[in-house]
Amino acid sequence: SGPVPGSGRWAAVTCVLTGASRGFGRSLARLLAPRLGEGSLLLLLARSAAPLAELAAELRGSGSGLRVECVAADLGCEQGLGRAVAALREVLPAAPPGRLLLVNNAGSLGDISKSFLDLTDPDEINSYFAFNVTSALCLTSAALRAFGERPGSSRTVVNVSSLCALKPFKSWALYCSGKAARDMMFQVLALEEPDVRVLNYAPGPLDTDMQLLARTKTGDPEMRQYFQRLQESGKLIDCTVSAQKLVSLLEEDAFCSGAHVDFYNI
């Protein structure tokens, strides 16, 4: 038996999801859409316009009275981030009042063929952090401000995190430090805004394009082998399985705000 659309905590929800066009984001969008009831709004953000429009059309076809909007923007460049923030400021003040759910899923690996000592170009490093850290902070602050504090409504912010936020991996200086920065950033949000529910969710090693890059492009040979073995031994996690765990976490709503919760610890 499927979920009843718009019952309980999924009634009149405004959901914003970044990195929605593929991988974990797309799987999560497909799981959330049937749960969001009449009058709910799903705002999808991603870089690639065509797959984003395709996904939006598919989700609109579910017939639950859900409004699906999409914004194609490269969050790593000032223009793209500006466009995304403008969309939030335009849409959120008039959005359904019941609940705001913001999922910061967009992210990139960076050039993992490089060791620490190869990372010498400030432009490369700054553009990595602009996309992976700055945009998540700006979008989250803009969304929370635009939605505002409404009596009786709840606000939840999810950061799609990683084991790499806690543990260093060779060749992954940018990715690990970006994920660590994001985790800490959202812990500060949890501390400052006690009425906002904040979750750092590490989805586990997902079977995505990113994992393909990990096992083919990682500079450190041991790391490369580690990722190859994960795939060969069937240890990679299907995106839908991990997204389902996140949805369950959100439904139970029992996590400690600001906590780092790993797929394997649930």
Segment 161-178 shows an average pLDDT of 98
Task: Provide the domain limits for residue 194.
Answer: 13-205+239-262
As a whole number of angstroms, the distance between CA 211 and CA 17 comes to: 21
What mean pLDDT, rounded, does the chain reach?
Answer: 94
Is residue 157 in a domain?
Answer: yes
- Among candidate residues 228, 145, 237, the one with its CA nearest the CA of residue 189: 145
Does a structural domain hold residue 185?
A: yes
What pLDDT, on the 0 to 100 scale, is given for residue 139? 98
The alpha carbon torsion through 254, 36, 71, 28 (nearest 10 deg) reads 50
pLDDT higher for 181 or 39? 181
pLDDT digits (tens, 9 = 90+) for 40-81: 999 999 999 999 999 999 999 876 789 999 999 999 999 999
- 2-16, 63-77, 130-144, 211-225: least confidently modelled range: 2-16
Residue 234 lies in a domain: no
Q: Is residue 107 assigned to a domain? A: yes
d(CA 147, CA 144): 5
Residue with tokens 């602009």: 130
Count: domains in the chain: 1
Q: Domain for residue 161, yes or no?
A: yes
Asked if the structure places residue 33 within a domain, the reply is yes
Residue 179 CB neighbour total at 10 angstroms = 25
pLDDT for position 1: 41
CATH number reported for the structural domain that contains residue 123 in this entry: 3.40.50.720
**To 10 degrees, the CA torsion angle through 133, 136, 139, 145?**
-100
Dist. CA 99–CA 37, nearest whole Å:
12
Express each pLDDT in 142-157 by its tens digit. 999 999 999 989 999 9
Residue the block writes with tokens 């709004």: 41
The reply to whether 30 falls in a domain is: yes
